[in-house]
Structure 1
């Protein structure tokens, strides 16, 4: 397994957000996390990326316990890309500068090499002509694709995507989902928290339904989304269907 979360617990004050959560992800696998708001999806991704410290349990990446206090988080984050629903691009920097900032300043990559790799990715996602543009000159879909490229230029072993389409207008969602589908074709290992059930059905190898901080049910998309075993999963999906999102 590339990633293993074992009995992971996280509380914020009296609120239990992750309650002994277990999840494993194999290399080249795409796992979609679904569940109601507050079920723990975003917190789990932040714990995996070490932005949030777990209270108990272990997270193992490539066989190494990354929740060990002696671990350098910056070293771990070189292997993990995290993309948020808000693009978090620096508005005063061009697209190219946004993408190359971390490789050069944090990881010590030569500027010319960083720019070359950034341009390769921008060309691939159809944004090479936007390299000199500033974020406010881009559409939401373009900004989100730039944010994903920024995570990819460090060649991560694992890509975490936290509701990356939720802030987009409906007509812009498709271009981001196409990019993620292409990454799956490349064999990128991904965990994506999403409310896009149709997309989860198409792109995920496995769907994990989170409820009250635990993985209540998981399996192939056709099974979890089409014929769930747990009553709580059926209840959640019924509400999704009522809202026209499945």
Structure 2
């Protein structure tokens, strides 16, 4: 479904992506891991066409959507991205937030968009909060609304950028449970995370980014359990050490 070929992205003199290659097949979950600044978020933003690329290609269903002549809006309608921040409109209820994009971007009638919003909120365990405003929801609940909002546009590809990074530890599990359910249901997902145990559970493939490149890629059991690259080993050792109680 998605193929990234030799992707390059600069910010001024800084090279953030230095020739990234990866592929995501339909119904696969591919997870990006790596230290902060390794290029994970930039890669996801480039795939969603929120950033212009300096070189390389992004192919969605075989079409180079990074080509300046491509219909960016049409490509973006086939994807959805969820960020660390929830980015909910504070003056809208949970249901209104979820229904907005189908109604405004995809032309779904208001009644149909509202009905699907309520169905999706039920799916993420928030049916009783459809009429609640974001300031009445916990961080975990707001992030689940953000996931429902992404699903409302029926994306071919779901992009998740460190969606638990801003949550209190006790709220992380409720959000990851939703992602696991989506993965088990066949949703195609490209995500970045620091939750290594979760990556091992849900991923078909794990890609370790370092210095803007995919340094190591393979099944989670290999990359997370028996990595080949010394840099991958050092990163995972630091992550495990950071997770140990003091």
Structure 1 gaps of 5+ residues are none
Distance 1:149 1:244 in 2: 29
The residue that corresponds to 1:190 in the other structure is 189
The residue that corresponds to 2:68 in the other structure is 69
The residue that corresponds to 1:57 in the other structure is 56
CA displacement 1:183-228 (0-9 Å, x = unmatched): 0111000011001111101111111000111100011111101100
**TM-score normalised by L of structure 1:** 0.98
Question: The residue matched to 1:161 in structure 2 has which SS?
Answer: strand
The residue that corresponds to 2:125 in the other structure is 126
Question: The residue matched to 1:159 in structure 2 has which SS?
Answer: strand
CA drift of 1:68 comes to 1.1
Distance 1:241 1:175 in 2: 22
CA drift of 1:173 comes to 0.4
Distance 2:32 2:132 in 1: 33
The residue that corresponds to 2:11 in the other structure is 12
Structure 1 segment 39-188 matched on structure 2, within 5 A = 39-188=38-187
Structure 2 gaps of 5+ residues are none
Question: The residue matched to 2:228 in structure 1 has which SS?
Answer: coil
The residue that corresponds to 1:199 in the other structure is 198
CA drift of 1:71 comes to 1.7
Distance 1:188 1:28 in 2: 5
CA drift of 1:167 comes to 0.5
Question: The residue matched to 1:243 in structure 2 has which SS?
Answer: helix
Extract structure 1 runs of 4+ deviating beyond 4 A. Answer: none
Question: The residue matched to 1:236 in structure 2 has which SS?
Answer: helix
CA displacement 1:75-102 (0-9 Å, x = unmatched): 1111101000000001111111111111
Please report the RMSD computed on the Cα atoms of aligned residues, expressed in angstroms: 0.8
Distance 1:9 1:124 in 2: 38
CA drift of 1:244 comes to 1.6
CA drift of 1:105 comes to 1.1
CA drift of 1:162 comes to 0.2
